[in-house]
Amino acid sequence: MQEVPAMSSDSNRQNESKRTAWIHIRLTPTEAAKINERFRKTPYKDLSTYLRKVLLGKPVTVVARNRSLDEFIQEMILLKNELSAIGNNLNQIAKKINAYATTPSMKLLMQSYQLVKEKVDTKITGIRNKLNQFSDKWLLESSAEEASKEP
């Protein structure tokens, strides 16, 4: 009698992890839209991973996103980049003013400095306005949510 070598547990795991079986289902456009809507709220990269978790009863991670917070963050990133560029310009002008403090071009440099400073002040005002808009929006949304929770 000849012994058949036993398969290693690694080999079993490899065979088990290969997904070779297919399940085909038909959906109405409405059902497909609902599934895709729920899928978009998850961090999963592909629909198969999401559906596998749902069908096997595994926990599904859902990311609740605050749209106004996302808008706020995007706007603040843009404003931060603009302010950084303006700040770099201010630093360059300040270095030149310090280096050539006794030359006739000092007046021109001071005018350039004033123009850039006005841009910075304008951007700071823009940031304040955006912050006020978003805080007002958040207050309205949170007030509406609180009102809807009351019996």
* Per-residue pLDDT tens digits for 49-80: 989 999 999 988 777 666 777 777 788 888 88
Chain centroid to CA 151: 35
User: Which 8-state DSSP code applies to residue 57?
Assistant: T
**How many angstroms separate the CA atoms of 42 and 39, rounded?**
5
In a domain, 7, yes or no: no
In a domain, 17, yes or no: no
Q: Are residues 114 and 56 in the same domain?
A: no
Confidence of residue 151 (pLDDT cuts 50, 70, 90): very low
* Per-residue pLDDT tens digits for 96-148: 777 777 777 777 877 888 888 888 888 888 887 887 787 777 767 666 655 55
Q: Are residues 71 and 142 in the same domain?
A: yes
- Closest-CA residue to 61 (of 72, 53, 71, 70): 53
Q: Are residues 86 and 138 in the same domain?
A: yes
**How many angstroms separate the CA atoms of 120 and 83, rounded?**
7
